[in-house]
Structure 1
């Protein structure tokens, strides 16, 4: 490949990158714009934040809870993003602090897209037991 060849990023990779950047800045308005109104975010496990969040408002409320319960320390930093027209994935390093506890973990966020918006998110923790314990 010549040095003049430019590789174009899939628009849904750009969408994911923009979403994680907005999350890091606490820009809930931009995140709301990226989510379909009928979005579903599934968070498996047995911790207090696990469950199914339906609608953009519920998903945003879940994100606010992550920040509140961690005293504003929660971070989700993607180190690899992949996407096509319908599906996407983000390999994510997460970090948060609570009194006497630190979460420094990895997860995979799986996405579905429709009409340029996120319709489904599934967060899969590398160590679900550690995640459940941290948030409990």
Structure 2
């Protein structure tokens, strides 16, 4: 449900994070444009570019697999206009002997009500890379 005076694209992004938390792959797929790209900078094994909805969804599944289902990405601020969106995100995950508890920024491009680009920027890229390695 959109908040008062919230742009519809902010609601779209919130819906995406809710679907992610519930593992609702079908809703996430509906939010992604066919030409979507998700860019994840860094040097860890999950860093790179995911260039189709299937690759993006595969990346999300891999986050859950590698973390034993503990990965959480919870936005604490979401902003959007007609073409762009930004989410400030608290992330948490566990792996044997490791805990990831940090923040990131997800930057979106949106066209015709669908996400065409996502860039995930970790607050501490070195810690993120080490956690997933």
Tell me the TM-score normalized by structure 2. 0.97
Misfit runs of 4+, over 4 Å: none
**Within-5 A mapping of 1:72-83:** 72-83=69-80
1:90 counterpart (87, 105, 112): 87
Which structure has the greater CA radius of gyration? Answer: 1
Q: Mind listing any 5+ residue stretches in structure 1 that lack a counterpart?
A: 1-5
Deviation of the 1:8 alpha carbon = 2.5
Q: Distance in 2 between matches of 1:98 and 1:25?
A: 20
Q: Distance in 2 between matches of 1:46 and 1:54?
A: 18
Tell me the TM-score normalized by structure 1. 0.95
Are 1:57 and 2:54 counterparts? yes
- In the other structure, the counterpart of 1:3 is none
SS in 1 for 2:105: strand
Q: Distance in 2 between matches of 1:40 and 1:29?
A: 18
Q: Distance in 2 between matches of 1:74 and 1:117?
A: 24
2:35 counterpart (35, 38, 44): 38
SS in 2 for 1:45: coil
Q: Mind listing any 5+ residue stretches in structure 2 that lack a counterpart?
A: none
- In the other structure, the counterpart of 2:107 is 110
Deviation of the 1:9 alpha carbon = 1.5
Deviation of the 1:127 alpha carbon = 0.2
